[in-house]
Amino acid sequence: MDFQILLAGAAGSDVIFACALIGALGLGAQWLAWRLQAPAIVLMSLAGLAVGPLWSLLFNEPLLNPQGTFGDVFRPIVSLAVAVILFEGGLVLKFENLRDAGASVRRMVFIGGPLAWFLGSLAARYAAGLDWASAVVFAGVMVVTGPTVIMPLLRQSKLGGRPAKFLKWEGIVNDPVGALFAVASFEIIRVASQGDNVLAAAVWVISAAIMGTILGVAFGASMSKAFREGWTPEYLKAPLILASIVLCYALAELIEKEIGLVAVTAYGMTLANSKLAGLTELQKFKEDIAVLLVSGVFVMLTADLTPAIIEQAITWKTLAFLMCMLFIVRPLSVWISTYGTLNRKEAILLGWIAPRGIVAVAVSGLFGSLLVDLSREGRFDFSGADQITPLAFAMVFTTVVLHGFTIGPLARFLGLAHKEKPGVLVVGANAWSVEFAKALDQSGVETIIADSSYRRLKSSRDAGLDIFLGEVLSEDAEIKLDHARFSTVISLSTNDSYNALVSSHFAPEVGRHMVYQLSISDDEDGDDRGLSSNARGRTLIRRGRTYDSLIRDQYRGWEFARTRLTDKYTLEQFNEDRPKADIVAEIRPDGTLLLIGPNREAKGGEGATLISFAQEVKTEPPID
pLDDT in tens, 261-280: 788 888 888 887 887 655 65
Q: What is the mean pLDDT of residues 37-41?
A: 68
Domain parsing of the chain, residue ranges: 72-413, 423-614
- When the pLDDT of each residue in the chain is averaged and rounded to a whole number, the result is 81
Which ranges of 229-278 would DSSP assign to H, the alpha helix? 234-255, 259-272
**Cβ count near 552 (within 10 Å):** 11
pLDDT in tens, 208-232: 888 988 999 999 999 888 888 888 8
Query: Does 106 or 135 have the greater pLDDT score?
Result: 135
Distance CA 408, CA 416 (A): 10
Distance CA 558, CA 582 (A): 10
CA distances from 116 to 119, 432, 484 (A): 5, 52, 29
Q: Radius of gyration of the chain from Cα atoms?
A: 28
pLDDT in tens, 2-12: 445 444 444 44
Distance CA 164, CA 262 (A): 28
Which of 149-153, 425-429, 497-501 has the least mean pLDDT? Answer: 149-153
SS (H, E, C) 326-391: HHHHHHHHHHHHCCCCCCHHHHHHHHHCCCCCHHHHHHHHHHHHHHHHHHHHCCCCCCCHHHHHHH
Q: Given this model, what pLDDT does residue 206 score?
A: 79
Structurally, at CATH architecture level, domain 72-413 sits in Up-down Bundle (1.20)
For 423-614, give the CATH class: alpha beta
Best CA proximity match to 601, nearest among 589, 583, 576, 620: 583
Q: What is the mean pLDDT of residues 592-615?
A: 89
Q: Given this model, what pLDDT does residue 3 score?
A: 45
pTM above 0.85, yes or no: no
Ranked by mean pLDDT, which of 153-157, 235-239, 243-247, 294-298 comes out on top? Answer: 243-247
Q: 501, 473 in Cβ contact below 8 A?
A: yes
Which of 266-280, 548-562, 602-616 has the least mean pLDDT? Answer: 266-280
Best CA proximity match to 159, nearest among 484, 500, 439: 484
Distance CA 614, CA 228 (A): 50
- Of the chain, the percentage scoring pLDDT greater than 90 comes to 19
- Of the chain, the percentage scoring pLDDT greater than 70 comes to 84
DSSP class of residue 325? I
Q: What is the mean pLDDT of residues 418-445?
A: 88
pLDDT in tens, 43-56: 887 888 889 888 88
Query: Does 228 or 290 have the greater pLDDT score?
Result: 228
Dihedral over Cα of 131, 133, 139, 142: its sign = negative
Q: Given this model, what pLDDT does residue 586 score?
A: 92
pLDDT in tens, 369-390: 778 877 776 656 677 778 888 8
| Overall size of the chain counted in residues | 624
CB-based burial label for 230 (10 Å; 0-12, 13-18, 19+): exposed
pLDDT in tens, 475-514: 677 777 877 788 899 999 988 889 999 998 888 778 888 8
